[in-house]
């Protein structure tokens, strides 16, 4: 018969060993957690240093790489930026509308901002002026003109090419909102202010549509993608005609000519339904297996468009058939396009250069991918949107969300690379040859 005392002591010993083992495992896990935290902090510090080093190097090259650049610090981050119509042409600069947003923390309303900006003409700005800017200052080239209180955050802004005073916006809701910016009243963004009323609401998505938004270059068609994995197409031709004829913000057209209260919640913490006239879709296209993140019309066809989703698929659609990362094409050269991502770099590509032999030794960095011919590294955080200026060749506006790098705000930059970069090589070499003697004289001195 087993001794009860020995059995109790054996059980006590086993429990002691188990507790000791648990304690050691806990200590080991805590040490591993601390090690991972140290490694993480070290990696973040190295990442921060590399970003600052890259930015410092870029800023030193601004006088060489750019014909003009304006840096504008934003109090609140903007998730979108778009050129509006050109207002005035002068000898040395043009005045133009610029569309932005303000993504706030809730202490004041989210807003859609219409600004007036001055775009300096090519070969006017002095090299020392464009490189000597304060990152924390607001640019004298950008002035706020009008504020619209938006129902929720403004995730995307897209202007109608046939009438750039009319824009579409995406927020955290299934709907697309249409705004006649000239007719909308200027609002003061204070806490508790009521939302501005959109001129038109486009319905059709079954879940939130946040970022994928496009306007057709030649017809008043709107394209959107969302979390419901669908691409939705609208025609707002009749409504846009009515908007153009009816001055004043109090008259808004709808599919029936009457205003209806639409039971859709605005983005963010806004639980109030958005009020405005509503129209339904012209077509809904299913094919993605995850959220649609971007859409784009074909520049040469009103019936063809493409979409890209989180399912890693890019789909080309033909609206006539009824079935089946951010990229923007340059309006100045059909083979040139820009792309951006979370690394803060805005890349400019020319697909005509892919596969061509480089005539000049060292004209392309050894590790650069084919077709890449310019990198804009003026942002220190992720570039959330950019837009080619159709009124001013090779001029781009770009905006970054600087929350991770500076704990708030954003940076808006208007810029144009020096024309020696994109002009034909023979033409550039001929021009430089005229200044050959002057350059050699400068080197001797």
Query: For residue 274, how far is the Cα from the chain centroid?
Result: 25
Residue 194, pLDDT score: 94
Quick one: pLDDT band at residue 323, thresholds 50, 70, 90? very low
| Alpha carbon distances (Å) from 175 to 216, 261, 317, 376 | 18, 13, 21, 34
CA angle centred on 443, ends 439 and 445, rounded to 5°: 115
pLDDT tens for 115-128 read: 999 999 999 999 88
Residue 4, pLDDT score: 61
| Packed helices 436-444 and 425-434: angle between N→C axes, nearest 10 degrees | 60
Mean pLDDT value across residues 295-311: 85
Tokens 């892919």 locate to: 354
pLDDT tens for 201-214 read: 999 999 999 999 99
The structure tokens listed for 41 are 């902090």
pLDDT tens for 343-392 read: 889 989 887 877 665 544 445 555 677 888 999 999 989 898 999 999 99
Of 98, 109, 105, which is closest to residue 146 (Cα–Cα)?
A: 98
Of 395, 341, 401, 387, which is closest to residue 155 (Cα–Cα)?
A: 401
Residue 26, pLDDT score: 74
pLDDT tens for 181-201 read: 999 999 999 999 999 999 999
pLDDT tens for 67-112 read: 999 999 999 999 999 999 999 999 999 999 999 999 999 999 999 9
Residue 436, pLDDT score: 77
Using CA atoms, how far apart are residues 324 and 317, in angstroms rounded to an integer? 6
Query: For residue 102, how far is the Cα from the chain centroid?
Result: 13
Length of the chain: 445
Of 65, 201, 195, 40, which is closest to residue 130 (Cα–Cα)?
A: 65
């Amino acid at each position: 018969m087993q001794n009860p005392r020995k059995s109790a002591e054996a059980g006590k010993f086993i429990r002691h060993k188990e507790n000791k083992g648990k304690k050691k495992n806990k200590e080991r896990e805590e040490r591993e957690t601390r090690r991972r935290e140290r490694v993480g902090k070290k990696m973040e510090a190295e990442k921060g240093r590399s970003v600052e080093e890259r930015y410092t190097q870029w800023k030193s090259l601004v006088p060489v790489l750019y014909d003009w650049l304006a840096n504008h610090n934003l109090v609140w981050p903007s998730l979108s930026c778009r050129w509006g119509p050109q207002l005035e042409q002068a000898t040395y600069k043009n005045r133009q509308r610029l569309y932005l947003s303000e993504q706030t923390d809730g202490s004041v309303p989210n807003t859609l901002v219409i600004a007036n900006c001055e775009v300096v003409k090519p070969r006017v700005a002095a090299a020392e002026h464009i490189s000597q800017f304060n990152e924390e200052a607001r640019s004298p080239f950008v002035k706020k003109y009008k504020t619209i209180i938006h129902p929720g955050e403004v995730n995307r802004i897209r202007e109608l090419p046939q009438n750039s005073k009319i824009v579409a916006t995406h927020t955290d809701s299934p709907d697309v909102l249409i705004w006649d910016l000239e007719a909308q009243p200027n609002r003061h963004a204070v806490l508790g202010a009521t939302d501005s009323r959109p001129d038109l609401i486009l319905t059709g998505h079954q879940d939130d549509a946040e970022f994928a938004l496009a306007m057709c270059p030649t017809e008043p068609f709107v394209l959107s993608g969302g979390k419901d994995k669908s691409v939705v197409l609208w025609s707002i031709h009749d409504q846009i005609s009515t908007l153009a004829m009816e001055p004043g913000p109090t008259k808004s057209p709808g599919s029936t000519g009457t205003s209806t209260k639409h039971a859709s919640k605005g983005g963010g913490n806004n639980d109030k339904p958005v009020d405005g006239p509503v129209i339904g879709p012209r077509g809904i296209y299913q094919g993605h297996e995850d959220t649609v993140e971007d859409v784009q019309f074909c520049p040469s066809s009103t019936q063809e468009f493409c979409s890209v989703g989180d399912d890693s698929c890019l789909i080309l659609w033909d609206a006539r058939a009824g079935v089946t990362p951010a990229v923007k094409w340059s309006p100045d050269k059909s083979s040139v396009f820009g792309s951006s991502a979370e690394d803060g770099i805005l890349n400019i590509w020319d697909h005509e250069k892919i596969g061509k032999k480089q005539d000049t030794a060292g004209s392309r960095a050894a590790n650069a991918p084919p077709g890449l011919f310019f990198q804009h590294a003026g942002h220190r955080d992720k570039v959330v949107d950019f837009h080619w200026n159709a009124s001013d060749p090779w001029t781009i506006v770009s905006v970054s969300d600087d929350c991770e790098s500076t704990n708030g705000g954003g940076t808006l930059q208007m810029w144009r690379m020096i024309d020696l970069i994109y002009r034909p090589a023979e033409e550039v070499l001929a021009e430089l040859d005229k200044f050959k003697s002057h350059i050699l004289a400068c080197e001797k001195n």
